[in-house]
Structure 1
Amino acid sequence: MTTIASGIARKIDGILFDKDGTLFDFNATWNVWAQTTIHDLAGGEPATMARIALEIDFDLENGRFNPQSPVIAGTNREAAECMGRALPERSIEEIEYLLMMSAAEAPLAPAVPLAAFLEGLAAQGIALGVMTNDTEYGARSHLRSAGVEEHFDFIAGFDSGHGAKPAPGPLLAFARHVSLLPERVVMVGDSTHDLLAGRAAGMQTVGVLTGLAGHDDLAPLADAVLPDIGHLPAWMLA
């Protein structure tokens, strides 16, 4: 069934957003966090910092993640396991906890003014959700800090009991939660993990360029690739 918004047909009735690189610009948020976290975990010791950076594919000299870094689309646990290879004296559980707590305090750089953007979508009766491979604790902390937690009908991390992307489980959990057929939902993300999960769930998929992946990386898996989430309203009605 086609939904009519203000007399114009629209493509979807629900939007499930990735968090990092989608709601928040990846480079402006996570490059700063990574530099600080590597320094803190290594106690400022240059050789240890270099080992950690190598394991997570972070360019220390230029202060940025390389596009192929396993941390970009991975879970908090996977990031801890990568860093743990450079810190054999520390448990993965300890590193995982430290990452969760520090990530919750990461400096946020919204991709667009989020409150007004989300209010505009909700006013059209669109169900809104967030699914991230970060922890649910981190997701809620970031959304609360940005003043938009209450705008979402569904918030899940990799540890919320539905699984992690690129598996479709958490996406289907959102569709069930808001009583929508998957084909009436769009998965919006900045990585191939997001889009693979969307395809597997039978959803529409939109890639955005506020992460590290380029247009050519996302286009084969996306119904559209947009500069940022601010272009979604026009896409919905195109």
Structure 2
Amino acid sequence: MSAGAAIDGIVFDKDGTLFDFHTTWADWTNDLLMHLAGVYGGDAAVLARAIDFDLRACRFLPTSPMIGASNREGAKTLAAALPGASSDEIEDHMRRTSAAAPLQPATPLVPFLSGLAGRGLKIGLVTNDSDHGARAHLTSAGVLEHFDFVAGYDTGHGFKPTPGPLLAFARQHGLDPARCVMVGDSTHDLRAGRAAGMWTLGVLTGIADAAELSPLSDKVLPDIGHIPAWLDR
């Protein structure tokens, strides 16, 4: 089956896929833990252990429950390690501050996305970040207008690994999910793609390695910059 002939739409995860995960989120997470420890009188080291984050190296461990999680899920995990803390307050702080997190694109995004649109593909973004954060990041990167569909975890379509937001993308543009591909750096992304009946591509710009992604991927690529060559096969 020719991938180039079979694909009408492509859906991207955001963090670890469009943007390098560690470069974008490590410093922000370190600042978040220090802020929460100060506000609630907690211990940043305890919070770091709760989310499997190496404070000394300022880096996520592969086992971190924050990987692929929504802000709501992350806030609940952190609140559980902070007696008396409000997960709603933590989620709101995460939503507001994550919009200004630094961005490191995995590949130059404007020519990459323009090239996909030039093939006639509809382009979507489905993230477990908030819709506000997703749009802020795409705007900061200068690529929001390149997306035909954007959905955060709080847009009402559900969140990964459930297939709801991916199916909403296909439905909005009248596409057969079997002629769409989901691209992501985590098993959350790929499970959502499989559940939606889409092709799945794993990329290695997040935390998961090829061995973890391969069982759920039609192909594992070093980064999204290799997608055009995959489509051309």
**Normalized against structure 2, the TM-score is what?**
0.96
Q: Tell me what 2:15 maps to.
A: 20
Verify: 1:34 aligned to 2:40, yes or no.
no
Aligned to 2:174: 179
Distance 1:164 1:48 in 2: 30
Q: Identify unmatched segments of 5+ residues in structure 2.
A: none
Cα deviation code 1:131-154 (max 9, x no counterpart):
001111110010000000010000
Conserved 8 A contact 2:135-2:144: yes
Q: Which residue of 2 aligns with 1:11?
A: 6
Alignment match of 1:207 (pick from 190, 202, 211): 202
Counterpart-to-counterpart distance in 1, 2:131 and 2:13: 12
C-alpha separation between the residues in 2 aligned to 1:44 and 1:163? 31
Change in Cα spacing, 1:79 to 1:159, as seen in structure 2 (3 Å) is same
Is residue 90 of structure 2 the alignment partner of residue 100 of structure 1? no
Q: Is the 8 A contact 2:161 2:189 kept in 1?
A: yes
Partner of 1:71: 66
SS in 1 for 2:150: strand
Alpha-carbon shift at residue 47 of structure 1 (Å): 6.1
Task: Give the equivalent residue in structure 2 for 1:111.
Answer: 106
| 1:97-141 CA-partner distances (Å, limit 9, x unpaired) | 001111111011111111111011111111000000111111001
Q: Which one is further off, 51-60 or 82-91?
A: 82-91
Q: Does 1:150 align with 2:156?
A: no
- Residue 2 of structure 1: CA displacement? 7.1
Residues 58 and 231 of structure 1: CA distance in aligned 2, closer, same or farther (over 3 Å): same
Percent of paired sites with the same residue: 58
The one of 44, 54, 57 aligned to 1:59: 54
SS across alignment from 2:43: helix
Report how far residue 90 of structure 1 moved: 2.2
- Structure 1: runs of 5+ lacking an equivalent: 4-8
Tell me how large the CA RMSD over aligned residues is: 1.7
Pairing 1:163–2:158 present: yes
Tell me: CA distance 1:131–1:137, structure 2 relative to 1, closer, same or farther (3 Å): same
**Does the CA-based 8 Å contact 2:40-2:85 persist in structure 1?**
no
Could you say which residue in structure 1 is the equivalent of 2:80?
Answer: 85
- Is 1:190 the equivalent of 2:185? yes
* Secondary structure of 1:134's aligned partner: coil
Alignment match of 2:132 (pick from 132, 137, 148): 137
CA–CA separation in structure 1 for the residues paired with 2:156 and 2:41 = 38
TM-score, reference length from structure 1: 0.94
Equivalent in 205, 227, 233 of residue 222 of structure 2: 227
Shift of 1:237: 1.6
Equivalence for 1:217: 212
Match of 1:6 in 2: none
Question: Is the 2:36–2:42 Cα contact (8 Å) retained in structure 1?
Answer: no
Question: Does the CA contact (< 8 Å) of 1:207 and 1:225 recur in 2?
Answer: yes
How far did residue 44 of structure 1 move?
8.9
1:192 & 1:2 partners in 2: Cα distance?
25
- Do the aligned partners of 1:48 and 1:86 also contact (CA within 8 Å) in 2? no
| Structure 1 residue runs of 4 or more that deviate by more than 4 Å after TM superposition | 44-47
Alignment coverage as a number of residue pairs: 233
Paired with 1:209 and 1:17, the residues of 2 have a C-alpha distance of: 14
Q: How has the CA–CA distance of structure 1 residues 83 and 233 changed in structure 2, closer, same or farther, with 3 Å as cutoff?
A: same
Q: Distance in 2 between matches of 1:184 and 1:178?
A: 12
For the residues of structure 2 that align with 1:65 and 1:27, how far apart are their CA atoms?
7
Instruction: Indicate the larger mover: 146-155 or 10-19.
Output: 10-19
Q: CA separation in 1, counterparts of 2:74 and 2:27?
A: 16
